[in-house]
Structure 1
């Protein structure tokens, strides 16, 4: 449903209210409609802004008789529709103005000691400072999830022009958006070659979508696209599916990595996943590496690649990206302390996941 259709629905609900106490505020809305002919969403937003000011005045005990029917007295269904409209307007404005940029975090090959790829992470230019996860969740709630994800993919592809040419670029996307027919068209219109792109799934694939997902993604993989999944969606069923899906990358985060250097059970789990990845023929990436001891054990166990604050923080600066042609210095890493590396990695399941 478009913003305009939603706006008309809310306006109709407000104007249909027969409560005499709300006559003045309904008249204000009618006035806004007259001032913005053919643009109901603008009229409604001006009305909502005025209502917010009126509510604030009421809370301050300023001439309560002049401001009848505060928003918290509206029917819950109407409040819900108003909230939905606000979200639609916010996301639509964000998409229209392209208010997002891309940070890249390096992914190191643990054998080569060089950067082999990057993960693209969205950064939003917004007054409220909301994190990427909140923006994507809000967009999905109002039916614009795929639009925002495709915008983020386009932004990442454009920014990747400044990366070293040999690096692959992992871009986050939901399985649902992979079913959108616009996805193949997106790859036809971006300059980044499809064989440098890795789609990193942000959610598990629902049972009812699995066959459709395979059908949609296979033609793109035939063109060179690669797929990554992470352990936050792992289960016995998911591991079984991997045998069929055969992802190009499996990313294991703090649930497996934390304590791998000092906990025998954690090390056993990590070793089992290395064996599983080898049998599957997939690249195993340790995500969220925080200490030099973790990195040492992961390398000994046979992990293919590593990502985390120890190895490199996300950056929006092309100058930082240029340095990723430089080999990793293991001796330098040994001298890093937990305090220097942050020891709190938001890149796994947190605000940096996108």
Structure 2
């Protein structure tokens, strides 16, 4: 369940009673979840704040649609509230933009994909700060979905051969709303890459395998980030069997001179080959770093040396140029961008 009863008690200022909703019957197996859902619903409906009248009416409709099943009524209600919040943020606030950074095939110089980055049209913290604040206010999921929908919409203006890496937290990848959002997009499933950006717990790693299987069967690919940045990351990577492994800037910075980073990069190349995953070097910022990663056998990369993130469709259109023209661009202009 997406919300905890303490949240509703604090928000609506009432203690949930213990009695079940009319029509709810508790058995040994389902009594806990149904009783909790029933208590939360009663707490919400007991509040008489004028500003919450619409939410109460919507909840009554969901309860009527699922007689005797308060857990389903509550889940539907929470999904509706989340959807309304996302629509309001995107349509009314208009504070989100998507920047795409090109991902290059390092053997040919062709752009093969992009990574989506969220930009905020407002004064305040950077993107990471906005997402951290949203999480503190229990709005992290809503903001992630708003950013995802913004990226999926913007991706329609990209050259048709490019895949799109969509950065998502493990919790969002486990959210039952995710398949619905992806299916509603005009972007083909085989152009979608779900990029896990946060370290995983053991429980999340185990849950993600079955949760993402239907999407992966439809052609959606999985990428993992932060490999090697925490103790169990290699084990989790093997369990997930991703299509793509991404090595972030912390591992690529100085890989041309740092023997430990170089050795780790070599180990990751072997791991990627073992599990059949593509390996992408992120954050390439110098010609020497580019030389080091290609020397290790990494065949794809991104970074300021190769191309900066851009919110401009005219820049995106340039990523459809023939590979030879990109190789010339990298050769002559790379030093100026480093």
CA contact (8 A) 1:117 1:168 kept: yes
Please give the alpha-carbon distance, in whole angstroms, between the structure 2 residues aligned to 1:173 and 1:144: 14
Deviation at 1:262, TM superposition (A): 2.6
Q: Which residue number corresponds to residue 136 of structure 1?
A: 131
SS at match of 1:211: helix
Q: Which residue number corresponds to residue 292 of structure 1?
A: 287
Q: Which residue number corresponds to residue 188 of structure 2?
A: 193
SS at match of 2:270: helix
SS at match of 2:306: coil
Q: Which residue number corresponds to residue 206 of structure 2?
A: 211
CA contact (8 A) 1:292 1:334 kept: no
CA contact (8 A) 2:99 2:116 kept: yes
SS at match of 1:122: strand
CA contact (8 A) 1:169 1:197 kept: yes
Change (3 A) 1:212 1:335: same
Q: For 1:1-354, list aligned pairs within 5 A.
A: 9=13, 38-39=50-51, 94-95=89-90, 97=92, 98-126=94-122, 128-231=123-226, 234-326=229-321, 327=323, 329-330=326-327, 333-334=330-331, 340-342=336-338
Deviation at 1:124, TM superposition (A): 1.1
Q: Which residue number corresponds to residue 58 of structure 2?
A: none
Report which of the two structures shows the higher radius of gyration computed on alpha carbons: 1
Please give the alpha-carbon distance, in whole angstroms, between the structure 2 residues aligned to 1:282 and 1:232: 13
SS at match of 1:39: helix
CA contact (8 A) 1:204 1:233 kept: no
CA contact (8 A) 1:195 1:225 kept: yes
CA contact (8 A) 2:104 2:110 kept: yes
Deviation at 1:268, TM superposition (A): 2.1
Please give the alpha-carbon distance, in whole angstroms, between the structure 2 residues aligned to 1:105 and 1:337: 15
Unaligned runs of 5+ in 1: 11-36, 42-89, 343-354
SS at match of 2:50: coil
User: How does the TM-score come out when normalised to structure 1?
Assistant: 0.68
Unaligned runs of 5+ in 2: 15-48, 54-84
Instruction: Count residues with an aligned counterpart.
Output: 266
Change (3 A) 1:334 1:114: closer
